[in-house]
Amino acid sequence: MQTKRLDGLDIAKGIAILLVVYGHVMRGLQVAGLVSFDGVWGYVDYLVYTVHMPVFFVVSGFLYEAGRQRAQGARDAGLRETASDGAGRSFWKPKLVTLAWPYVLWSTVHLAAQAIMSGSGMVNHEASLGRLASIGWDPVSPFWFLYALFMAFAASYLLQRFSARVVALLAFLLMLVVHPLPLPAVIGDLAFGLVYFSLGRLVFAERLAGPLRSAVTLGLATAGFVLSASIAYRYALDVRLATVGTLCGLVAFFMLSTLLAHSPLRRPLVILGRCTMGIYVMHILVIATFRAVGLKLLHLDLTAVILGCIAFAVVVPLTAQVIANRIGIARFLGLQTKLDDVLWRRRPGAIAGE
């Protein structure tokens, strides 16, 4: 079976990365004491964090399952060379290049920048390069996601004899068990990521995109998301345990992506979706820099700082990634290398199809 890259998945990632940027802008201001999360800002933050990171894990699981089934189809057809493409060295090497290398490189860059700016008032948390010694088991924020995603790929590959449904259930149970225990946070991160990665595999395997194409489904899922997440927020449930709200939010998220795949916003959102790695690894440094400059040098008001941080945290990494692609150093920087088809020419898109 062959599947083409699906625009709707890139659109979902594009919207999700905007929410990631927004969340980190607001949380940075909250840590700095400039925004209070006691009221509406805390509620919005809870809604955002209920769904935005699961989107990335679901998309990755969907694409992993697509590749796995292509390899299985080739094996069934007796094409041993093609079938072995997803196994052994050919499985691990791409993950080391696209996940492990960016994780190590940008953790180093992030910590170096924090160490240099420590004491300047430009960062909320000080750090030293000595922290690099522990990133093998204690990811630097915000790079826990790359760490957890790599482990989700690895666990799914090593446990491929088990169905995605079984892996999702085991990961969910692990998440529930470790949550109240005084264990390293990374264990919860890994379980959390594997739950939604496995859910993405199930979405691919069971072809749920087709039945979800309905405005009624979008409305019901959105209402379910807001209601469930609001109840969880009201009772101070940890955002990662607001599972009903997350599931409803994911359905609404991908339904919205379906609609936007046939709108004028398709191309800019697909570009954002393709450039999520660049935005993800660079946006914290851009936010910290603009926040310091905007508040201390330009004396901007809070609204201007928020809007400026969001805009620059998207535009600067996006521009850097496009330039890196044009001069051929994107792979060295751990960034996306397949951008030309969306940057320089238009093509039709859809969220599901073969």
Same domain, 204 and 305: no
Residues 228, 295, single domain; the answer is no
Q: Which of 244, 269, 294 is the last residue of a domain?
A: 269
Domain count, the chain: 2
Question: Is 309 found in the same domain as 167?
Answer: no
Write down the pLDDT at residue 192: 97
Please state, in angstroms and rounded to a whole number, the distance separating the CA atoms of residues 344 and 95. 27
77: burial class by Cβ within 10 Å (0-12, 13-18, 19+)?
A: exposed
Rounded CA gap, 354 and 67, in Å?
A: 13
Residue 95 belongs to domain spanning? 15-269
Asked whether residue 326 falls in the same domain as residue 180, the answer is: no
> Where among 241, 269, 297 does a domain terminate?
269
Q: Are residues 276 and 263 in the same domain?
A: no
* Regions in the chain scoring below 70 on pLDDT: 1-5, 73-89, 118-126, 205-214, 340-354
- 52 & 9 share domain: no
Indicate if 219 and 293 belong to the same structural domain: no
Using one digit for the tens of pLDDT, what is the confidence trace for 15-37?
999 999 999 999 999 998 999 99
Q: What is the pLDDT of residue 125?
A: 67
Same domain (yes/no): 188, 255: yes
Choose one of 236, 269, 302: the last residue of a domain.
Answer: 269
> Are 240 and 296 found together in one domain?
no
Q: Are residues 21 and 127 in the same domain?
A: yes
DSSP state of 97: I
pTM above 0.75, yes or no: yes
Element (H, E) at 70: helix 40-76
Residue type, 2: Q
Please give the pLDDT value at position 83: 46
Asked whether residue 347 falls in the same domain as residue 305, the answer is: yes
